[in-house]
Structure 1
Amino acid sequence: MNQAYSTVTCVVTGGSNGIGRAIVQDLAAKGATVVNIDRSIPDWTLDKVHHYQADLTDAADTARVAGEVAARFQVTALVNNVGATRPGSVESANAEDLRIVTALHIETPLKLVQHFLPTIKNCGQGRIVNISSRAALGKHDRLVYSTTKAGMVGMMRTLAMELGQYGVTANAIGPGPIDTELFRVSNPAGAPSTQRIIDSIAVKRLGTPEDVARLVSFLVAPENGFITGQMIYICGGTTLGVAPV
């Protein structure tokens, strides 16, 4: 346990499974108080982890749970992790997909920042981390997903500019191929298509949720206050030659 994290109270959205679960568990292991907001309550518990259930695609339910959390906790950090892919090309993209993905990737992160901003600003070491995606650079058949994930980067950069004077940092993380339950649904172990993905990665392996979680914990740490406004790809090198330097 790192004593510095004892001053951290971090809200993580979508923390019941996958990358979000790894983030919650890593922060808790380091000594932070963690609030997980997700559509389902997980079947696991940890000391200093508090679970709240909400439909984060619904503005009223998001406001309700944010109010409850803000009334109980002095939030110092926010990790906007919750998301949805909704695959589709320009021809197949539809209004419902756009509504849901925009709600999760743009509207809800903004609303939660606004709800928790008083304590994030006043603590002197506030941290905001947006979990974007390598798809923010563009990806076939992920039109609404890539569009909104790119939007999370623009939001982060503006937050960094506006909130830096209060000691608040804002950064984004762009995961590449990460071995989660959701990834395995479309990319089963041993399948030729899965192997092609692995072969395309410079380090020749899939990322793990824990890889992402360790980076989140680093950015949330109180002592790491000079990194802000950055999009950090955690992708095993798959953005080499694509992402700007």
Structure 2
Amino acid sequence: MSQTPAYLVTGGSAGIGQAICQQLLQAGHTVVNIDYTVPGWSHANLVSFQADLTNADATRAVAQQVMAQYAIVGLVNNAGATRPGTIDTATLADLDYVVALHLQASMLLIQAVLPSLRACGQGRIVNIATRAALGKPERVVYSATKAGMIGMTRTLAMELGSDGITVNAVAPGPIATELFRKSNPEGSPQTQRIINSIAVKRMGTADDVARSVMFFLSPDNGFVTGQVLYVCGGTTLGVAPI
């Protein structure tokens, strides 16, 4: 019996990852979610695996489970953590954690799904980076590892293009997720300052990011690879290179 084609999304239980999963499901796809928490929502074509992606052995094990059941045609490395701190306060534990989640897990999952992506002839990889990779105070370990994901994106695009696999990154700016709202309540002065700094004068939404991911995942967009799309409302203007 042939395996079911599916898209694999990490961190899909909430926030941006949930929006990506839901848009894929709305488009009629089967979606596999790997997260450390079980989603509080469901769909007939959503399958969730619970795993700690900062643990290499756990990541390999869950990847093996997924690949035994599904033919992965697209991978979205979305799971992430900020671990805020300046260079004076950041710790090696912070660094180890975000390296494991952003870089180690992404590399292990890419390696696991590569045979399936190659077999389908038009595999897609999307890495979720951040506008903070261009520099943001109190995000030293976060910005460093997310910048590493951009470097990985560009290198893999060169290595895998001949296999029909595209590799791109989406780098969100200020997005009004539940996590953002906890530290920046709607209507608060600090939230308004953030909105005032955005060219389009509104916060981004998880769906804004998900729509960009859907573009890169489409089989029709095989001539776009190695790119970073800043979904930031214009906050990178004057900062990001042309």
- TM-score range with shorter-chain normalisation? over 0.9
Do structure 1's residue 138 and structure 2's residue 150 form an aligned pair?
Answer: no
- The one-letter amino acid paired with 2:221 is N
Q: Specify every segment of 5 or more residues in structure 2 that has no aligned partner in the other structure, as ranges.
A: none
Do structure 1's residue 166 and structure 2's residue 166 form an aligned pair?
Answer: no
Report the TM-score, using the length of structure 1 for normalisation: 0.96
Percent identity of the aligned residues? 60
For residues 82 and 68 of structure 1, the distance between their equivalents in structure 2, rounded to whole angstroms, comes to 18
Is this contact kept in 2: 1:78–1:129, CA < 8 A? yes
- 1:8 Cα deviation after fit: 5.4
Is this contact kept in 2: 1:8–1:77, CA < 8 A? no
The counterpart of 1:94, out of the listed 91, 94, 103, is 91
Is this contact kept in 2: 1:207–1:236, CA < 8 A? yes
Q: Give the secondary-structure state (helix, strand or coil) at the position aligned to 1:11.
A: strand
Q: Give the secondary-structure state (helix, strand or coil) at the position aligned to 1:74.
A: strand
Q: Give the secondary-structure state (helix, strand or coil) at the position aligned to 2:71.
A: coil
Question: What's the CA shift string for 1:45-89, capped at 9, x where partnerless?
Answer: 112111100011111111110000011001111000000000011
- The one-letter amino acid paired with 1:22 is A
Q: How does 1:231-242 map to 2 (within 5 A)?
A: 231-242=228-239
For residues 139 and 224 of structure 1, the distance between their equivalents in structure 2, rounded to whole angstroms, comes to 31
Match of 1:4 in 2: none
Match of 2:150 in 1: 153
The counterpart of 1:208, out of the listed 188, 205, 209, is 205
Match of 1:31 in 2: 28
Q: Give the secondary-structure state (helix, strand or coil) at the position aligned to 1:184.
A: helix
Report the TM-score, using the length of structure 2 for normalisation: 0.97
Q: Specify every segment of 5 or more residues in structure 1 that has no aligned partner in the other structure, as ranges.
A: 1-6
- 1:9 Cα deviation after fit: 1.6
The CA RMSD over aligned residues, in Å, is: 0.9
Aligned residue pairs total: 239
Is this contact kept in 1: 2:5–2:71, CA < 8 A? no
Match of 2:221 in 1: 224
